């Protein structure tokens, strides 16, 4: 995106932390909060080098965060689509760890998208260029098209 990395470094996340530019090797690059960048670094095909340089706080361990909803850190949906030939179709037939249906979020103005847990999709909808249907919308993908 135009000015992605430079713009990211000038933004403050909603939690008050500086935003961090994470370069994608097998995924699109992303601008994340410091906390999210620490979690995503070296995962999902993202490399967030400035996290280790700029942040001096303690390591973020999910086990130390008892109030984190498991759906928010469930990567089952993302990885099912990431590893599939047809990501949208794989998303429509995959369930998250808690048994809920994965949600396909379309990227505005592009053919790409992201497969997310329904709780992740609620937060991502309208952000990051994603449009995610609500849980009430059927996510069934008809694979028997004529």
Evaluate whether 114 touches 107 at the Cβ level (below 8 Å). yes
Check residue 66 and give its pLDDT.
Answer: 53
Answer yes or no: is pLDDT of 133 > 70: yes
| Residues 98-125 pLDDT 10s | 999 999 998 876 678 889 988 888 888 8
**Can you tell me the distance from the alpha carbon of 110 to that of 35, in angstroms, rounded to the nearest whole number?**
28
Tokens standing for residue 78: 């993302």
- Residue 132, SS3? coil
| Residues 59-113 pLDDT 10s | 444 444 456 666 677 888 888 888 888 888 999 899 998 999 999 998 876 678 8
Q: For residue 4, count other CB atoms closer than 10 A to its CB.
A: 14
Sheet holding 46-47, edge to edge: 30-33, 19-24, 46-47
Partners of 23 in the beta sheet? 47
Answer yes or no: is pLDDT of 4 > 50: yes
All residues at 6 or more sequence positions from 106 whose CB lies less than 8 Å from its CB, including other chains: 113, 130, 131, 132
Q: What is the DSSP pairing of strand 46-47 with strand 103-107? A: unpaired
Q: For residue 89, count other CB atoms closer than 10 A to its CB.
A: 15
Of residues 31, 35, 1, the one with CA closest to residue 15: 35
Check residue 91 and give its pLDDT.
Answer: 92
Q: Average of pLDDT values for 118-142?
A: 73
All residues at 6 or more sequence positions from 60 whose CB lies less than 8 Å from its CB, including other chains: 35, 38, 39
Q: For residue 40, count other CB atoms closer than 10 A to its CB.
A: 20
Confidence of residue 53 (pLDDT cuts 50, 70, 90): low
């Amino acid at each position: 995106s135009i000015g992605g990395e430079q713009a990211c470094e000038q933004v403050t996340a909603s939690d008050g932390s500086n935003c961090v530019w994470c370069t994608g090797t097998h995924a699109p690059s992303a601008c994340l909060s410091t906390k999210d960048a620490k979690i995503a670094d070296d995962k999902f095909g993202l490399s967030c080098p400035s996290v280790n340089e700029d942040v001096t706080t303690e390591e973020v361990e999910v086990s130390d965060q008892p109030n984190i909803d498991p759906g928010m850190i469930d990567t089952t949906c993302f990885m099912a689509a990431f590893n599939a030939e047809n990501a949208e179709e794989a998303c429509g037939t995959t369930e998250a760890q808690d048994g809920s249906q994965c949600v396909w979020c379309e990227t505005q103005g592009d053919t790409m998208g992201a497969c997310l847990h329904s709780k992740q999709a609620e937060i991502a909808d309208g952000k990051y260029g994603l449009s995610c249907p609500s849980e009430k919308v059927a996510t069934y993908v008809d694979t028997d098209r004529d």
